[in-house]
A and B are shown apart, each in its own frame.
Chain A
Amino acid sequence: MDRRDSLKSIVFGSIGVGVLLEGCVSGVDSKTVARSMKKFNYGRTQSEKDYDRLLFSKKCFSDNEIKLITNICNIILPPNEYGSIVDAEVPELIEFIAKDIPSYESPIKKGLSFLNKVFKEKYSKNFIDCSDIQKKEYFDLIAYPNPEFLNSDQDDMVKWFTIMRNLTMTGYYTSKVGINELGYKGNVPNVWDGVPKDVLDQYNLEYEQEWINKCIDQSKRNDIAVWDENGNLIS
Chain B
Amino acid sequence: MSTVTMIYAGMFYIATLLLVVGLGYKIFDYSRTPAPLKIPTTPAPTTQKGVVYRMAKEVVLFESLFKSNKWIWVFGWLFHFGLLLVLARHLRYFTEPVWFWVGIVQPFGKYASIMMVLGLAGLLARRFLVDRVRYISTPSDYLMLVLLLAIGLSGMLMTFVAHTDIVALKAFFMGLMYLDVQPVPMDPILLVHLALVALLMVIFPISKLLHAPGLFFSPTRNQADNPREHRHVAAWAARLDQNN
Judge: A and B partners, yes or no.
no
Enumerate chain A interface residues (CB-CB to B < 8 A).
none
